[in-house]
Amino acid sequence: MPTFHVGFPAPTAQSMQMSARPALAKFCEDLGFDTMWHSNERFFREMFICMSVSAMSTERMVIGGAVADPYSVHPVITAQSLATMDELTGGRTTIAMAAGGSGFPMVGIKREKPALAIKEAVQVMRRLLAGEAVTFDGQTLKTNQAKLHILPKRPVPIWVASRGDKVLETAGEVADGAFIATYANPQGVNYALSLVEKGAKRAGRNLSDLRLLSRVDTCVHADPKQAFDGVRYMVARFLWISYPDRGFVRQAGLEVPAELEAVIAKRDLDLMHQVAAMVPDEFVQAFCWAGTPEQVAGQMIEIGRRCGVQEFGIWVLCAPGQSRDEALQLLSAEVLPRVRTALK
């Protein structure tokens, strides 16, 4: 049976009033979502604080953080926060580890050896959450008899999130689940799964040992053109952030148009809206679920059938003039039921 995760990209979440967050979490739970993920984009709202607020207004839904990184916060402290959230939620919490990167230049952080840093962080966090006193002398991480004094009652799922090749392999090697970002069609998802499987085999595991989540920026609207316009900015943003890495673009059978790449190469964030206006439709189709409810459900169903994925991460974006609640209600009423029926 499919599982549905919901999240909200930070550049859209900045407009949410903090007072609305408890209502948003309860609304998502009532609409049938299974997990609500909270972004960790600097310099917006602090992830674990927002998770705590959502936890206090929900009863069933899992409360997740996406993402924590091994650079800006020591993994021992992340484990401490996670154990605290587990106590607060009564065992309804989870975390996705990733390389991060937002805001790093502002605070002088260098993202070095990300795949190895994530691997070592997950290894240390898992041991800490199991109650061990951990001394670890890794290449990117060191601890000396670190020990938590508050422990989860059950293992907390640790995901690894990425669209990058080496980190996807790391997910297969050490994580409880692979959080496959961005790829919106079976070609991209199957490519990512092949990397996850490669890492799993390296650790003597199988792909079936992991939870597999396809996480995609999503905009649903009765007018497909409006839906496409609702996601162009996010496509522009990850093209800007990932520059000059274009491996995932080529893997999707695409090339960034020269005139678009020239604007991105200027590295001027003030030009982001210009970049968004230049994003071609085929990039939206490759990296987003966008269109009418029937079209969006069809994209998810195709991934479920052709890739064997049963967990779907819907990062909600709004079409021009559409409210967040309208988008969520449309997803709940017309997209989720179609997917459940097709993949049950």
Give me Rg for the CA atoms of the chain: 19
State residue 13's pLDDT score.
44
Q: Alpha carbon of 24 to those of 19, 29, 325: distances in Å?
A: 9, 9, 9
Helices (H), 130-254: 165-174, 186-202, 224-242, 247-251
State residue 44's pLDDT score.
78
Mind listing the domains of the chain with CATH numbers? 3-224+289-343 (3.20.20.30)
Task: Tell whether the torsion through CA atoms of 230, 315, 258 and 266 is positive or negative.
Answer: positive
State residue 72's pLDDT score.
92
As to burial, measured by CB atoms within 10 angstroms (0-12 exposed, 13-18 middle, 19+ buried), residue 22 is middle
State residue 45's pLDDT score.
83
Q: Give me the amino acid identity at 132.
A: E
How many other CB atoms are there within 10 angstroms of residue 70's CB atom? 26
Q: Give me the amino acid identity at 37.
A: W
**What is the pTM (predicted TM-score) of this model?**
0.93
Map residue 339 onto helix, strand or coil: helix
State residue 269's pLDDT score.
82
Furthest-apart CA pair in the chain: how many Å? 58
Mark the ranges of the chain whose per-residue pLDDT is less than 50: 13-19
**In the block, residue with structure tokens 């992991």:** 210
Task: Yes or no: say if 71 and 37 are a contact pair by the CB < 8 Å rule.
Answer: no
State residue 266's pLDDT score.
94
